[in-house]
Amino acid sequence: MPHTEFHAETASTAGMPPGDAREFWRSVATNYQCQMDCEFPENEAVTGTLTRMRTDRNQVLAWHSPPVRYGRKPKHVRKDGIDSYVLLAPTAGTAIIDADDGELVLRPGYASLVSTARPFTVTHSPHAQLRAVTIQRREIQRRMNRHARLSAPLDFSTGLGGVVHNLLDSIVRELDQLTSHQFDAVVDRLTELLCIQLGDCVINAGDHYSEIEAAIRRYVRDHAQDPGLNGEMIASALGWSVRQIQLALQRAGTTARELVREERLSLAHDCLANPAYRNISITELAHRCGFVSAGTFSTAFRQRFGMTPRELRVASF
């Protein structure tokens, strides 16, 4: 059964001989993130520290080190099959990302998503300080238009981006004070805000269907507990035709039914892991989250999260 404990651990190469330090850093980096090559400058000491914060759902890394070139090749993608996004944000120094969309230079105040499903290289300057949030692809896809350019640079210096940056800072700063539920809740909120920031870029480009999709997603989040929520209700509430709703969601790679189910399952997951709901039966909780049948809820929940609602509740407390 998957665990839901919160783990925080720090790895350091301080005091290690250069050869041992390189091997240790390579092992830690690949075990924590994904399979990839790690190249170090010759004749330079590798003195770095990496802190990892994780549950079974989310992970945040914070590290500083001499310059390293991380390279994920097609063989690595095939070998481990990891398919997620990594939000990379330097807080000191620079990071250079080279992926499908070309080269991108990130400085403090900017960030970008990197897909582990495709080859990439990331190189950072000496003594750079970086943070990385691993986000499951499905968590991005269920919130975003599939046509959005997810690798675009994100301004974390002001506005909503500044809020996301501060939230990430808070996770690292308060790691000793967080429970697993609190950590997951904060990372989920960070992901939500990140997708809003990415979505605003699409909307600002003048895509009418992206505006409709954003409104649909907001409405579904606010009304997921209504057991009667469907495409017709959404269309009526927002003043668009059912066909417009269908087209907007089709462009995003989903349907009204799938979107509603995802929101209800996410809501149920949060409730099951929240001590405030521990005395509410799973059947009642399923009904509160908009599911008509407890059996249907349990089946969908297991398919989505790989465990039953009862297993999650037991593991959370």
Neighbours of 44 (CB within 10 A): 12
The strand order across the sheet containing 102-106 reads 37-39, 69-72, 120-124, 95-99, 102-106
Note the pLDDT of residue 93. 92
Report residue 203: phi and psi, to 5°.
-65, -40
Helix (H) or strand (E) holding 96: strand 95-99
Question: What pLDDT, on a 0 to 100 scale, did the predictor assign at position 45?
Answer: 74
Model's pTM, two decimal places?
Answer: 0.66
What is residue 1's predicted lDDT score, i.e. its pLDDT? 35
Closest CA to 108 of 86, 85, 124: 124
* Pairwise CA distance, residues 134 & 58, whole Å: 6
Task: Confirm or reject CATH 3.40.50.720 for domain 7-179, answering yes or no.
Answer: no
Strand order in the sheet with 84-92: 7-12, 49-54, 59-65, 128-136, 84-92, 110-115, 154-155
Question: What does the domain layout of the chain look like in residue ranges?
Answer: 7-179, 208-316
Fold of 208-316: Arc Repressor Mutant, subunit A (1.10.10)
CB 97 within 8 Å of CB 89: no
- The whole-number pLDDT of residue 61 equals 95
Structure tokens at 5: 């404990």
- pLDDT tens per residue across all 317 residues of the chain: 344 678 889 999 988 988 899 999 999 999 999 999 999 887 777 788 999 999 888 999 999 988 899 999 999 998 888 888 999 999 999 999 998 767 888 999 999 999 998 899 999 988 889 999 999 888 887 776 554 556 678 899 989 999 999 999 999 999 888 888 889 889 988 998 898 888 765 444 445 667 788 889 889 999 999 999 999 999 989 888 888 888 888 877 789 999 999 999 999 998 998 888 999 999 999 999 999 999 999 999 998 888 899 998 888 77
pLDDT of the residue at 224? 94
- From residue 6, give the alpha-carbon distance in Å to each of 9, 262, 268: 10, 24, 20
pLDDT at 136: 87
What is residue 206's predicted lDDT score, i.e. its pLDDT? 44
